């Protein structure tokens, strides 16, 4: 889709109150340091029917004022990432741009796989290597029909999914004047997970592989059917498989089928899946949900490549791997050298070809549809495209019942994957 996007204005929104001198430097935690250096895109779609038509000027003014107010609490978002271990909280500001889009909002929502079109609504290309390592940028997109898309790019180096949605929910509450939901984040992750002294290691590189992103929707009924298939003797006297466990294992199995169809996979000894786990509530005592930063680690589930395992086995492997990320495990991560050795070991196995690796992250527990800026809940929220192959993002559908799986594969692999009959039996491309 050719989107005609005209930038109307661009300005820097600074915190409404200056950041105190004692908060001007913030060390990253070890978990921030090893987090991906990519930018996370976020788009919130609001159809014209729930907006005051034509009031773009007043709406933008409220968004800017509430953003400035929110940045006084989330002050590091208005700073600059200067090293792989440090943020200067210098109140340089968040770039806020306003754009006019010569298109109907429905035209974009009807083509969710057109990631290039979705990226045109963002403040900048999330794959770009920028001159300045900004942390957050925002764009307000006004469509011909009167609909609006609020779009954000935020660096994963400092902000995980929980932190991103905590911020957007807080900003939305401030914009609609709901001060009962005021959130004051904490920035003490570096005290729990001390950083290693790594200088000059923060510069991002352009992506090397040609990645294609496609969305696959698992409806409530299809998830129920998969749950029934997965709920074998392996879960006797346990809770049934969750939606995320069920869908993750199913996609993992289809990835395995894809890999086995390629001659290059024969060198690998096993398949492995990394599943991101929020560790805030796994520490003792648990951290509050508004603890800011990359407070997650990866659970690892493996399966031998020479022996095809059944679906319930894969579901149980994922559950067991996630369960292992308990308080004792998270406490061990506070030893920086041990944590780095674990991460490097996995990297070496992947690099050597010993492991065929897939990465999953779930946002299904995040309140992304609660971002009401004063004109109601968004009709659709998406985070399209990741610059890495074999990566899957799971997000709730708008009704909270289904799951959208955003699958990122190499260009040569996607045609085979998306035509997989077993995949197509349980998914659709539209809700």
Q: Which residues are catalytic?
A: 156, 372
Sign of CA dihedral 6, 9, 11, 13: negative
As to burial, measured by CB atoms within 10 angstroms (0-12 exposed, 13-18 middle, 19+ buried), residue 20 is: exposed
DSSP-assigned states of every residue in 251-309: HHHHHHHHHHTSGGGGG--EEEEEEEEE-GGGSSSPPPTTB-S--EEEEEEEEESSSPP
Q: Which helix (DSSP H) or strand (DSSP E) does residue 243 occupy?
A: helix 243-260
Residue with the two structure tokens 């990253």: 28
Q: What is the 3-state secondary structure (H, E, C) of 382-403?
A: ECCCCCCCCEEEEEECCCCCCE
Cis before 47 (ω within 30): no
In b/e form, how buried is each residue of 380-416, taking b as 16+ CB within 10 angstroms? Answer: bbbbbbbbebbbbbbbbbbeeebbbbbbbbeeebbee
As to burial, measured by CB atoms within 10 angstroms (0-12 exposed, 13-18 middle, 19+ buried), residue 237 is: exposed
Query: Across-strand partners of 381?
Result: 44
Give the HSE-up count for residue 207: Cα atoms under 13 Å, Cβ half-sphere. 17
């Amino acid at each position: 889709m050719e989107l005609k996007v005209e930038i109307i204005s661009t300005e820097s929104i600074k915190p409404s109150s200056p950041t105190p001198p004692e908060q001007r430097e913030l060390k990253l935690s070890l978990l921030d340091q090893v987090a991906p250096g990519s930018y996370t895109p976020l788009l919130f779609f609001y159809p014209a029917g729930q907006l005051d038509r034509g009031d773009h000027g007043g709406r933008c003014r409220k968004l800017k004022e509430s953003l400035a107010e929110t940045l006084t609490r989330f002050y590091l978002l208005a700073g600059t990432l200067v090293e792989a271990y440090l943020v200067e909280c210098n109140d340089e500001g968040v770039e806020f741009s306003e754009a006019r889009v010569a298109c109907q909002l429905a035209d974009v929502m009807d083509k969710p796989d057109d990631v290039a079109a979705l990226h045109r609504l963002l403040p900048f290309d999330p794959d770009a290597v920028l001159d300045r390592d900004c942390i957050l940028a925002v764009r307000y997109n006004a469509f011909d029909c009167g609909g609006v898309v609020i779009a954000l790019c935020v660096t994963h180096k400092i902000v995980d999914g929980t932190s991103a949605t905590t911020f957007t929910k807080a900003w939305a509450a401030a914009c609609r004047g709901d001060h009962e939901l005021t959130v004051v984040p904490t920035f003490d992750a570096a005290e729990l997970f001390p950083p290693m002294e790594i200088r000059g290691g923060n510069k991002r590189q352009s992506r090397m592989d040609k990645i294609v992103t496609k969305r696959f929707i698992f409806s409530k009924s299809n998830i129920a059917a998969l749950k029934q298939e997965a709920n074998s003797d392996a879960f006797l006297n346990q809770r049934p498989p969750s939606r995320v466990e069920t869908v993750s294992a199913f996609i993992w199995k289809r990835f395995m089928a894809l890999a086995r169809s390629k001659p290059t996979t024969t060198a690998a000894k096993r398949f492995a899946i990394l599943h991101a786990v929020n560790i805030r509530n796994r520490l003792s005592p648990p951290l509050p949900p508004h603890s800011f930063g990359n407070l997650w680690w990866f659970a690892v589930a493996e399966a031998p490549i020479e022996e095809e395992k059944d679906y319930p086995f894969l579901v149980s492997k994922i559950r067991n791997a996630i369960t292992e990320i308990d308080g004792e495990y998270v406490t061990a991560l506070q030893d920086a050298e041990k944590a780095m050795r674990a991460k490097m070991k996995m990297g070496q196995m992947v690099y050597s070809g010993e492991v065929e690796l897939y990465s999953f992250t779930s946002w299904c527990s995040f309140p992304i549809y609660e971002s009401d800026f004063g004109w109601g809940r968004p009709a659709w929220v998406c985070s399209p495209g990741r610059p890495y192959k074999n990566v899957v993002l799971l997000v709730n559908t708008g009704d909270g019942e289904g799951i959208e799986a955003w699958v990122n594969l190499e260009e040569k692999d996607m045609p085979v994957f998306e035509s997989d009959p077993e995949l197509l039996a349980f998914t659709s491309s539209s809700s």
